[in-house]
Copies of this chain bind each other. A is one copy, B any other.
């Protein structure tokens, strides 16, 4: 019962989240709220960071990315504008990117060393600190929806592999044949990396992030953070992980605090980058903690964590984030990051390169 109910006056708003069970029973009382919606809302999305350079991009490919970022941002914005929750906006925006082969999530997921596609995702609700995460699923069309189902319909926060898939089936989520995730582009990336490994004994890990479209390394992953009219934050992240990943590796995307974090006391964050460093740096939670405990702005906290702490650790990537005042930060230490922001007034800002 911490920060909810801060706007009062009239109007009864029935929250659209699914009913809570188990871990959530103490929060049942927040399902009905008397609200006076604010006109301050907004969302930010990302579609991955990396060595994304104009010189390696064709006009048509760049336009395809811009179009899809716009579509995803507008889908989330429409929900927020119509009084939907930040979690609904996050899910809708991510679904559009998951369904596109352009991004390393859902349909466009990269291949593991074995030639399979193993997907990870997580979500967090800033009002209740409720969270859901899944790792290593191979048959779930929209992993972010499964993360939401784990959050709302299970007693757990994180499910994995076959167990997560069984839960997805029981919840009636859209199941696809693993072949659905086959895209020629991603399969060629895998072959190229395996070929490179054969000729380079001391190969650089970065080849695992090779993306032939941009002719350099890119960290896939899509994500969205949103602030709704009720002052509630939410964050979500979905990914196919690293091309050529082995040993059922789990990156930062399904790790609460690393890939995803949301807390109405501070901000909502979604990460994209070299997952190992984002876990070690606890990037998403560290930004929120710095902001809350040091009482600095979101922009200051995001800058310090990405440009100073993560960079010092040797990690690369970026984050998108938003706070309860609608301030946003889109911070990265790579050449580019697919990103877009839309505020309550409907101003849309789509960027790819560092100097956009």
Residue from B167, B249, B289 in contact with A285 in the complex, judged by beta carbons closer than 8 Å: B289
Which of A58-66, A92-100, A150-158 contacts the other chain?
Answer: A150-158
- Counting contact residues on chain A (CB < 8 A from B), the size range is 35 or more
A256 within 8 A of B: yes
Number of copies: 2
A147 within 8 A of B: no
- In the assembled complex, the CB of A274 is this many whole angstroms from the nearest CB of chain B, namely 8
Residue from B133, B276, B312 in contact with A156 in the complex, judged by beta carbons closer than 8 Å: B276
A22 within 8 A of B: yes
- In the assembled complex, the CB of A260 is this many whole angstroms from the nearest CB of chain B, namely 11
A10 within 8 A of B: no
A210-250 vs B: 1/0 string, CB under 8 Å?
A: 00000000000000000000000000000000000011111
The answer to whether B294 touches A282, judged by C-beta atoms less than 8 angstroms apart, is no
A327 within 8 A of B: no
Residues of B within 8 A of A246 (CB): 163, 167
Residues of B within 8 A of A256 (CB): 255, 257-258, 279-280, 282
A131 within 8 A of B: yes
Residues of A within 8 A of B (CB): 2, 22-23, 25-27, 124, 129-131, 133, 135-136, 154-164, 166-167, 205, 246-251, 255-258, 261, 274-277, 279-282, 285-286, 289-290, 293-294, 312-314
A sample of 26 cross-chain residue pairs with beta-carbon separation below 8 angstroms, ordered by A number, consists of: A23-B276, A23-B277, A26-B313, A26-B314, A124-B280, A131-B279, A131-B280, A135-B250, A154-B247, A156-B249, A156-B276, A158-B250, A158-B251, A158-B255, A158-B279, A159-B247, A160-B249, A163-B248, A167-B246, A255-B255, A256-B257, A256-B258, A256-B282, A285-B286, A286-B289, A289-B290
